[in-house]
Amino acid sequence: MEKVKWGVLGCAGIAAEQTIPAMQQAENAELYGIASRGLEKAEAFQKRFGFAKAYDSYEALLDDPQVQAVYIPLPNSLHGEWVRKAAAKGKHVLCEKPAASNAWEWSVMVRAAERNGVVVLEAMRPVFHPGFQSIKDCLPRLGTLRRATFIYCQYSSRYDKFKNGIVENAFDPRLSNSALMDIGCYCVHPLVALFGKPSSILAQSVRLSNGFEGAGTILAAYPQMQAELLYSKISNSKLSSEIQGENGSMLIEGINIPKKVTLCWNQGKQEQITFSFEEQDMCYELNAFAQMIYKEQSPKKWNHWTELELELMDEARKQAGIFFPADSNRQ
């Protein structure tokens, strides 16, 4: 398989800290282009990571015929616009989670990709991680499933600034940001990937002074089981996520990045599930994305999970009274 020539739109922290280092490690990725609104910043990234070219605008990168695929780590509210622009230029697109502000916007993005014959995919790394496959493989051993509890609570360093009157992008709801969108999606996406769409949900949120959702809880009902999702950007939790069956339970350390899975049987015994993974764990989704580009696998399953994720989050936001400016763009 030939290496994919990547372009990156923007010099966001997640790109520098996670995605670009993973591209350097992925077996079929080539760092080709980096774009920023200022050439100086793009050139700094070019020198730091070894990109072949730097651009002073996103448009210039998209106009380069050598770029095969782009990674978009821009604010959530800009995902729809730039995915559509990239697709129109014939670029495959890996878009940072959450892929869209709402399910309707995601459907527009998918149609744009299909119309232009390119792949679009949400960068939801947990479901590409070897630990997630281990979770799926072990589920039947638990017997009839009765409850799932997925927890991801991570105190944001930007919250300290917020409390001091400095509102950064991560706490600005105008950019389609909320605890659910930024943190809770790591609970929602594995839920629908493992169990499908729930029959109903009940959602509640903790709101901050500017209307931003700082934390929330979602209860989800299935025909034979219940699920609860707990997420927060304003507090930490050291609790593991858990899936309970009639034969025993499964403890998951890190639902956002499954690093340790333990089976706890009703008789009292415990079983550690072993799996290995790379430190730069985004390489798994990058390798899968390359396979999709070269038609070795289809993105349809993954994109359906994103559709279910966004539909559930739309309903949760509706119940909690969380509205984004992007929600008014539906036609």
The pLDDT, as a whole number, for residue 145 is: 98
Structure confidence by residue, pLDDT tens digits, 71-110: 999 999 999 999 999 999 999 999 999 999 999 999 999 9
Structural domain contains residue 299: no
User: Same structural domain for residues 108 and 152?
Assistant: no
Which CATH number does the domain housing residue 70 bear? 3.40.50.720
Interatomic CA distance for residues 232 and 210, integer angstroms: 16
The pLDDT, as a whole number, for residue 215 is: 98
User: Same structural domain for residues 141 and 272?
Assistant: yes
The pLDDT, as a whole number, for residue 331 is: 55
Q: What is the three-class DSSP state of 11?
A: coil
User: Same structural domain for residues 86 and 202?
Assistant: no
What residues make up the domain containing 22? 4-121
Give the chain's mean pLDDT: 96
Which CATH number does the domain housing residue 220 bear? 3.30.360.10
Interatomic CA distance for residues 321 and 58, integer angstroms: 34
Interatomic CA distance for residues 286 and 4, integer angstroms: 10
User: Same structural domain for residues 23 and 88?
Assistant: yes
* DSSP-based helix, strand, coil % in the chain, nearest 5: 40, 25, 35
The pLDDT, as a whole number, for residue 154 is: 97
Tell me which of 121, 147, 164 is where a domain ends.
121
Mean pLDDT of 175-203: 98
Tell me which of 121, 156, 189 is where a domain ends.
121
Structural domain contains residue 298: no
The pLDDT, as a whole number, for residue 161 is: 95
Residue 277: pLDDT above 60?
Answer: yes
Provide the 8-state DSSP code for 149.
Answer: E
User: Same structural domain for residues 110 and 132?
Assistant: no
Structural domain contains residue 37: yes
Please name the helix (run of DSSP H) or strand (run of DSSP E) that holds residue 287, with its range, or none: helix 283-293
Interatomic CA distance for residues 32 and 30, integer angstroms: 6
User: Same structural domain for residues 13 and 68?
Assistant: yes
Give residues with Cβ within 8 angstroms of 238, minimum separation 6. none
Mean pLDDT of 263-283: 94
Interatomic CA distance for residues 118 and 109, integer angstroms: 11
Structure token digits, residue 147: 């409850």
User: Same structural domain for residues 169 and 318?
Assistant: yes
Tell me which of 80, 106, 121 is where a domain ends.
121
For the whole model, what pTM was predicted?
0.95
Residue 27: pLDDT above 90?
Answer: no
Confidence class of residue 330 from pLDDT cuts 50, 70 and 90? confident
Provide the 8-state DSSP code for 90.
Answer: T
Interatomic CA distance for residues 307 and 63, integer angstroms: 29
Structure token digits, residue 51: 């990109």
User: Same structural domain for residues 111 and 135?
Assistant: no
